[in-house]
Every structure is written in C-alpha cells, then in structure tokens.
Homo-oligomer: A and B are copies of this chain.
Amino acid sequence: MEKFTLLIETTDAKGLVYNVSKVLFEHGLNIDKNSEYVDSEENKFFMRTVISGEFNEAKLLKDIKGLLPQNHIIKLKPQTCKDIVLLVTKESHVLGDILIRYVSGELNANIKAVVSNHDHLRTLVEKFDIPYHFVDTKDLAREEHEQKLINQIDVYNPEIIVLAKYMRILTSKFVGYYEGKVLNIHHSFLPAFIGANPYKQAHSRGVKIIGATAHYVTNDLDEGPIIFQDITRVDHTYSWQDMRNAGRNVEKVVLSNALQLLLDDKVLTYSNKTVIL
C-alpha cells in the first residue's frame, strides 16, 4: 500500500492533533508515524504524519483545511522517489558521493540531470548515464546565464535542486524562482571566516575544528534555514590544503544527510529556521 507524508504548519490552536487525527480516522487512514512540534514562543504548530490507506486526496485536504487556523501550509506527498537536478562547478567530492549512493540504490531519488557552468565533470557524470548540461557563462550577463540554467533545469521539473559545490553566486531572482527547493552545502568554521579562501584563513587562525553546513538557499546567500551541520577535527600538522580536504569530507557527509532529510519530507521551515520531524 502506498504511503503518504502529510506536513502541516499553522498557528497553534487547541485541539489541532485531535482535529487532524479525527479527520484521518474518519477517512479510514492508518497513522504509521506521527510527530508534532509546537514553538510556544512563536505560537506555531508543526506536524508530520505518515499515513497509509485508500483515500480521496481532494476531500481529505479540504476536510483538514477546514479545521486549521487561517494561516496554514499543508502538503501531502507520496513516498516515492523525488526527481532532483544537481548543479556543480569543478569539484567532484560531493557530486561523486551522491552518484555512488544513487547507483547503489541508497538514494531514494531520480537524478534527472547534472547542470554546470563548466564542462569539467562531464566524464564522471556520463559514466552513470545521467545527462550532463554545460551552460557556458561566456559572453553572458549573469541574468542571461541564469535564465539558460533555468531553461535547462525546468526541462526536468525537479522537486529539489542540489547545489553540489556550485561555486557561482545566484541572484535573488533565481533563488526566488525556485523558492524552498534549493539545497546548498557551505564550509563553516569556529570562528567563521568570510571572503576568499576561507581554508587559508582557518589555517592561519589555527583552528582545531572544521565544519560544514547544509541549508536551504534564500535570497540572503549562505543564510537560509540550516538543515544539518557537522564537524571534523584538524590540528597544527594540517596544511591549508589538508584542511580543505578534511573540509570536503565533512561537506560530503553533511550534504548527504541533509538531502536524505529532504527526500524523506522531514524538513519544515519557518522564521529562517528548520523543524526536523
């Protein structure tokens, strides 16, 4: 029997769990998994429910909506493989990790295509029989290039766009167009470093830890809701190149974890934060 994930975000109100589960009950559905979270300070209610059974989708959604406070977001998603598109530049470590998970059947996603501003990773991608699209930036204004990216991506109508080390800044127009769909991986440090070659800065600061942060992309670059973070230890024997390599390994792990959470429909967002249910 097919399973569905029901995601609800709304203003908190008395009896929400009761009301929603009542509707599910009346539609004859099984609740396989249920998680809620209430942010009392912000007065927000979040719910993720995995349901199974036969049902009329339009009717179910209508009945639930009828019981929710006015400001709500409701999503009902089948637990099937999602279509995704990867954006890359020249680095292969994150891309390669995703490809191997894909080919081994670990990743419950269809990689529809890899799109890049360089032709560098074509050979690797085509080994896996995945279309590779090189969208050259040559002679193009940023907006023109992005429009070509969008045209290429939209062919595949992906549910998630993964910036697997796509190293070109995206305009707020692009980000806005794909709002809530773009996942990025970002190196990060204690303390933080801004600007060119953060690994050289981290090395010169003598950090003992290097991290990575996976987040949704919003207009505020590198500042969207954080989905997953992790770190690795380094020491004084690390050159800045060693630190970069250590950082790449963390990036790989962090992006994979974050992508898995998105594929499982476990991430809700509000106030530039995520709730992982």
| A→B interface (CB under 8 Å) | 14-15, 17-18, 21-22, 24-25, 30-41, 92-93, 96-97, 99-101, 103-104, 106, 124, 127-128, 188-192, 204-209, 211, 213, 225-231, 235-237, 239, 245, 248-249, 253, 256, 271-276
Q: Please indicate the chain B residues that have their CB under 8 angstroms from the CB of A204 in the complex.
A: 271-273
How long is the Cα–Cα vector from A274 to B106 in the complex, in angstroms? 28
Closest residue to A207 on the B side, CB-wise?
B226
- The 9 sampled A-B contact pairs (Cβ below 8 Å) are A18-B21, A21-B21, A35-B36, A96-B101, A100-B100, A188-B191, A208-B228, A208-B229, A235-B276
Contact between chains at A273 and B236 (CB < 8 Å): yes
Complex Cα spacing A228 to B233, Å: 10
Q: Give complex CA distance A236, B229 in Å.
A: 13
Cα A33 to Cα B17 in complex, Å, equals 11
Query: What CA separation (Å) do A205 and B211 show in the bound complex?
Result: 17
A205, B106: Cβ atoms under 8 Å? no
Which residues of B are found within 8 Å of A93, using beta-carbon distances?
100, 104, 106
Smallest CB-CB A-B distances: 6 pairs: A206-B273, A96-B100, A18-B21, A192-B192, A127-B127, A92-B104
Are the CB atoms of B192 and A275 closer together than 8 Å? no
Residues of chain B within 8 A of A106, CB atoms compared: 93, 245, 248
Chain B residues, CB < 8 A from A92: 100, 103-104
A181 to B241, CA, bound (A): 29
**With A and B bound together, what is the CA distance between A227 and B206 in angstroms?**
9
Closest Cβ of chain B to A87, distance in Å, is: 18
- The smallest C-beta distance from A25 to any residue of chain B, in angstroms, reads 5
Residues on B with beta carbons closer than 8 Å to the beta carbon of A229: 190, 207-209
Contact of A33 among B38, B189, B225, B274 (CB under 8 A): B38
Report the bound CA distance from A6 to B119 in whole Å: 42
A237: min CB distance to chain B, Å: 7
Are B97 and A100 closer than 8 Å at their CB atoms?
Answer: yes
Is there contact, CB below 8 Å, between B103 and A124? yes
User: Inside 8 A of A99's CB, which chain B residues have their CB?
Assistant: 100
B205/A273 in contact, CB under 8 A: yes
Instruction: Report yes or no: B213 in contact with A190, Cβ–Cβ below 8 A.
Output: yes
Identify A206's interface contact among B100, B211, B274, CB under 8 A.
Answer: B274
Contacts of A276 in B (CB 8 A): 235-236
CB-nearest residue of chain B to A105: B92
Complex: chain B residue closest to A190, CB-CB:
B188
